[in-house]
Chains A and B, each alone.
Chain A
Amino acid sequence: MPVAIEVDSLSKKYRLGEYQAAYGTLRETLVHAARRVTRKERHSPAREIWALNDISFSVPEGQVLGIIGRNGAGKSTLLKILTRIATPTAGRAAIRGRVGSLLEVGTGFSGELTGRENVYLNGAILGMKRREIEQRFDDIVEFSGVEKFIDTPVKRYSSGMYVRLAFAVAAHFEPEIMLVDEVLSVGDAEFQRRCLGRMEELGNTGRTVLFVSHALPAVAQLCDRAIWINGGRVVGDGSPADVIANYLHQTHSSGTERVWPEESAPGNDLAKILAIRVPSHENMPPGVMDVRRPIAIEVVFRVLREGKPVFPKLKVLDREGATAFNAIDTDERWLRPTPPGDYVSTAWIPGNLLNEGSAIVEAAICSLDFPKLQHHAAVYEAVSFEVLDPGEGDTARGQFGGQWRGVVRPLLEWTVERA
């Protein structure tokens, strides 16, 4: 099988100082430079980050490769280098054929130009030859469904029409290699679904696809192979099922309690998470919860200084990494700036809510910096527990004993009338 992508000891270093200077004024930089000369400030090596550290792998033509890993593991940096937006610090990569990415959807669209003009513009930016665009123009317009408005400036389009036209162009660009970054893909659910659909279809027609995602179920379903990147290195490579299992296994503390010593507690100068625990149910083995009974999740955290109102937030995932739900502690005390001190916040997940199987808990201490939720301390896949149905017939599955699918399985109230 010919090789489509060959990555050989690729590394990328970011200087943190560079980021800071990026938006600085000339004056600030001159002051910095002067300080450096007078030795008051040195360039310390601690300010360098290796976003990618000696990564090597190769992708045969036609493979759909999933790349998984935590935020900041280096996945997006890798894609940026492969699309040649960023340059590596060391190593090399060879790519056979044209590269496209769904990041580019609508890139370079100009509001003043008509739909027709934008198709040509966008096509050229994606790397299509004029002749190719001409050949596909009618298909693109038909696919987008904006025939009537094709000679109207796109600034008069609704956002839906705009996205459809942009997507139509991208969908008719057929690169040999497609890079998809699910994390960065924008747009509504419908649009994301189209991206996934497009990816699946490219995979089916023998194109090489690199799929970066947090959605482990999607990776398991769509990919032939998965690579797990952690700290800028490849730490797992193999069949998606194996790699995902390893990833989940390694990143879970696989316990119902996790306590951090003060000096290594996750968090910033405002708040730190000290412990998370899931107290066991009576008469049940530790870590196994009765599906019918409420489950408590305790988050112990420390507020280090008075600043803004902070509050705990929980995220519960199923064993495949799909989010079951998010929840914020809505206690009124979190509306005012939080005084320094230690807090224990307990969340109660109602009985008869989560389905059987493993559940993974993530916790964060957040503040609301409108419109964003700022995370001051966060732990991923911190604790996990198993939900069990004792099978006494009083749950949503009734007397049935077989496989019961779903992230949640609420016990519904049923009313019945004789018609």
Chain B
Amino acid sequence: MRRTETALEEERTTPYVVDAATAISPSPGPRDVADLEVAARVTVIRPASRVPRLDVGELWHYRELLWTLVWRDVSVRYKQTFLGVAWAILVPAFTALVYVIVFGKFANFPAGSTPYPSLVVAGVLPMQYFASALTLSSMSLLSNLPLVTKVYFPRTLLPLAGVSVPLVDFVIGFPVLLALIWKYDTWPSGWETATAPLFILLAVVTVLGLGLLLAAINVRYRDVRYMIPVFLQVLPLLSGVMFAVDQIPEKWQWILALNPMTAVIAGWRWAMLDANPPDPAQLAVGVGVALVLFVSGLAVFRSSEPRFADTI
């Protein structure tokens, strides 16, 4: 008796709710096929497996969310800036200008047969991509804290979006290199131009591996935030951004070869500027290191993933 009364009272005092009921679900009528499909989907929750693995099927299932996250970050990236997307050209252009003046004019860094400005821009563009991608992906879990603590999706999407977003900048900045190629009239001639995307892919694999690793560590140790800028300041020197790697003593070439970005930049110059081809053995070392980074980064990320929400 008493409960009925309460219910009636609730209804009187919350007319809103009654409206909502009619407004949202007119009738639980026939649903479309997609809905039936998900209705049949059974999710099984189990303790995390000991051996981390990449669930490609699940990533594919969430592809729309990846796309949405990338789209969100791209559209927010230059919001409320006066120059807007022009920054994607200005940042590499200014960086290259400084390098050309300091290292080309004063320090006389070795460039080989390539015009120095082209050489630098061809190095700065992938390096700029690497720097943005590493920063975004390693911070991706923290900067999406509300998502990580409230909604389930494969967390791998966040670093993945982090390395995808700066690709847009890379594409927008690319005409700077084209302009220099046009100016010095060094159009690439051979089939090697077709390999250019492969070197960018190598950069993506490298930065994704490192980004996954650092993002996972960053959940527990905020030290990562301070490490990255230091690392990124040194990296251009260790990747041959302002010099041609084949012009330095061979001993040093092998040390730099351990850095996959050296292979990326040397290969990219070969593909775009007709520079000397990268030494195959050194290239192999770079690719090997990139793959090791990727696999270990993914393993660390996946194995600590179940604890993200508990520790973040």
A interface with B by C-beta (< 8 Å): 14, 18, 21-22, 24-26, 29, 80-99, 101, 103-104, 107-108, 110, 112-113, 117, 120-121, 124-126, 129-132, 139, 143, 153, 171-172, 174, 176, 193-194, 196-198, 200-201, 204-206, 217, 220-221, 403, 405
Contacts and interface: CB of A to CB of B under 8 A. Distances in A.
Contacts of A82: 45
Which applies to chain B's interface (DSSP): helix, strand, loop or mixed?
helix
- Give the interface centre of A80, A125, A405 by most chain B CB atoms within 10 Å: A125
B37 to A, nearest CB: 10
Given A112-B76, A126-B151, A201-B17, A94 B68 contact: no
A107 B153 CA distance: 13
19 contacts: A18-B311, A22-B311, A83-B151, A92-B45, A97-B41, A98-B41, A101-B150, A108-B147, A113-B76, A121-B68, A121-B72, A125-B68, A172-B24, A197-B14, A201-B17, A205-B28, A206-B28, A221-B10, A405-B5
Interface string B23-38: 1110010000010001
A153 B43 CA distance: 36
B56 interface: no
Contact of B38 (A97, A120, A130, A405): A97
A197 B80 contact: no
Given A95-B42, A126-B151, A193 B48 contact: no
A201 B6 contact: no
Nearest to B17: A197
A94 B152 contact: no
Nearest to A92: B46
Given A113-B76, A201-B17, A143 B23 contact: yes
Nearest to B227: A26
Contact of B310 (A14, A121, A197, A204): A14
A171 B24 CA distance: 7
B251 interface: no
Given A18-B311, A86-B309, A112-B80, A96 B65 contact: no
A252 B223 CA distance: 49
A83 B41 contact: no
Interface in B32-68: 34, 38-48, 64-65, 68
Q: Bin chain B's interface residue count.
A: 35 or more
A85 B80 CA distance: 34
- Give the interface centre of A18, A81, A201 by most chain B CB atoms within 10 Å: A201
A221 B3 contact: yes
B42 A220 contact: no
B95 interface: no
Given A104-B151, A129-B34, A94 B28 contact: no
B47 A112 contact: no
Nearest to A202: B25
A354 B164 CA distance: 63
A84 B46 CA distance: 10
A371 to B, nearest CB: 22
A418 B21 CA distance: 47
A22 B220 contact: yes
A113 B39 contact: no
Contacts of B220: 21-22, 29
Nearest to B73: A110
B149 A85 contact: yes
A197 B34 CA distance: 27
A176 B44 contact: no
A81 B24 contact: no
A107 B41 contact: no
Contact of B42 (A84, A96, A110, A125): A96
Given A104-B151, A120-B68, 20 more contacts: A25-B222, A29-B221, A82-B45, A85-B149, A87-B48, A87-B306, A90-B47, A94-B43, A94-B44, A97-B41, A98-B39, A110-B72, A121-B72, A125-B68, A130-B64, A197-B17, A205-B28, A217-B6, A220-B3, A221-B7
- Give the interface centre of A24, A89, A197 by most chain B CB atoms within 10 Å: A197
Given A29-B221, A97-B38, A124-B68, A80 B17 contact: no
Given A14-B310, A193-B14, A201 B21 contact: yes
A89 B47 contact: yes
A103 B222 CA distance: 27
A200 to B, nearest CB: 7
